[in-house]
Amino acid sequence: MDFWERLSQNSLYLDETDKTLEMDHSQVEQFYLPLAEQCMAGLVDQRRLLIGVAGPPGCGKSAFAALLSAVINAQAIQNLACVVGMDGWHFPNSYLDFHTIQHRRKRISLHSIKGAPETFDVQAMLSCLSAIREGGEVRYPVYSRRLHEPIPEVGLVNAAHRIVVVEGNYLFLDEAPWNALRPLFDLRISLIASLEGIQDALMERHLRGGKPPDLAARQVRQVDLPNAKRILSGSVPGTIVVHKLNSRLISSIEWLH
């Protein structure tokens, strides 16, 4: 069985839906295979590698991480890599409903800005990712876009996973407490996309998650785009910068050293 046959056996889905991710052969050959080789080059001993993938909402981080992991596994001819998503460390809605933040001279509910950096349990994330980095079997929370809640300990990094691809908006944000995460990553990959290029993807994601169009548009305007601006202006660049045409397609890669 060759590489493409092994890769095609991986059914990659968006969230908890039956919508499969498209595999563009030219994108895989031009971009994902070199990235996979770079990731595997770090496997010089038995230590587990953490690969951070960060960027603004709507730039296709989840799809990118899933496909990169699948390409690594197809190249390695074993399940060497897995993906862990940052969204599992959202605070529960019960917490967000009863906690507030100062915003533009008034107190607002954290629930009203759900998805902003302040709505994540960063200390719990730091503790879990540190345990994952140490090796062995580790359970982690996963965010359900059907329930709109994090579900504790349903994700599993097993002992055979030597590469863990961690994806999320704020992994490289250069402000406390987020900046404590950066030293955990052996390789940092930044995804960059224009605000114009991600708006359609943001709307599609919220509609897929069950929001009516007016609420989806308000979420994009009042929460997602301000968060994207905060990420683009306030994050430390990765050692690799991936420029996206849209949520699906890569236009180029910069290899920074």
- Distance from C-alpha of 110 to C-alpha of 118, rounded to nearest angstrom: 8
| Residue 105 pLDDT exceeds 60 | yes
Catalogue the E-assigned strands of 106-211: 106-109, 138-144, 149-157, 163-168, 187-192
The CATH number that domain 3-255 falls under is 3.40.50.300
- Distance from C-alpha of 97 to C-alpha of 114, rounded to nearest angstrom: 10
Please give the full DSSP string across 49-104, using - where no structure is assigned. Answer: EEEEEE--TTS-HHHHHHHHHHHHHHHHTS--EEEEEGGGGBPPHHHHHT-EEEET
CA separation, residue 59 to residues 80, 93, 126, 231, 242 (Å): 25, 25, 24, 12, 10
Asked which of 106-110, 185-189, 229-233, 238-242 is least confident by mean pLDDT, the reply is 106-110
Report the mean per-residue pLDDT for the chain. Answer: 90
| pLDDT, position 47 | 87
Predicted confidence band of residue 186 (pLDDT cuts 50, 70, 90): very high
Predicted confidence band of residue 12 (pLDDT cuts 50, 70, 90): low
Cβ-based neighbour number of residue 239 at 10 Å: 16
- The pTM of the full predicted model, rounded to 2 decimals, is 0.91
- Distance from C-alpha of 65 to C-alpha of 53, rounded to nearest angstrom: 7
- Distance from C-alpha of 143 to C-alpha of 141, rounded to nearest angstrom: 7
Please give the full DSSP string across 188-252, using - where no structure is assigned. Answer: EEEEE--HHHHHHHHHHHHHHTT--HHHHHHHIIIIIHHHHHHHHHHBPPPSEEEEESSSS-EEE
| Residue 225 pLDDT exceeds 70 | yes
The domain ranges of the chain are 3-255
| Residue 244 pLDDT exceeds 90 | yes
For residue range 142-151, list pLDDT tens digits in order.
999 888 899 9
Shortest CA distance to 54 belongs to which of 233, 192, 203? 192
- Distance from C-alpha of 84 to C-alpha of 133, rounded to nearest angstrom: 12
